[in-house]
């Protein structure tokens, strides 16, 4: 991998970390509520789902970047499982 590829992958990793950190903060405000009583609004659930989808998309882009440059350390089983989803 060259410096550009490494920078692309690092950018995607930062997106995943930022996205999941934001989701964690969004859900953190409900720690005082007993888990069996916690009810999230539809808006909160949709936002959480969108956030998770964004993080998954960034992780898939990291796999694409890595695969485009020889695959690196990605196990073949992982590539075959996500191959269609990466397109």
More confident residue, 78 or 68: 68
Q: What is the pLDDT of residues 10-44, one digit of tens each?
A: 888 888 888 888 888 877 766 777 777 777 889 98
Q: How many residues does the chain have?
A: 87
Which tokens in the block code for residue 36? 């069996």
Q: Which residues span the domain enclosing 36?
A: 3-86
Q: At 9, list the tokens.
A: 């992958």
Region of 30 (left: φ > 0; alpha: ψ -120 to 50; beta: rest) is alpha
Query: How many domains would you assign to the chain?
Result: 1
Whole-angstrom CA distances from 85 to 21, 74, 79 are 24, 15, 10
**Does the reported pTM lie above 0.75?**
no
């Amino acid at each position: 991998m060259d410096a550009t590829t490494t920078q692309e992958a690092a950018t995607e990793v930062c997106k995943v970390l930022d996205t999941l950190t934001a989701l964690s903060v969004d859900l953190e405000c409900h720690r005082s509520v007993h888990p069996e009583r916690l009810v999230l609004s539809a808006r909160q659930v949709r936002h959480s789902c969108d956030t998770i989808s964004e993080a998954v998309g960034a992780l898939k882009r990291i796999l694409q970047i890595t695969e485009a440059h020889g695959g690196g350390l990605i196990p073949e089983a992982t590539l075959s499982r996500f191959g269609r989803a990466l397109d």
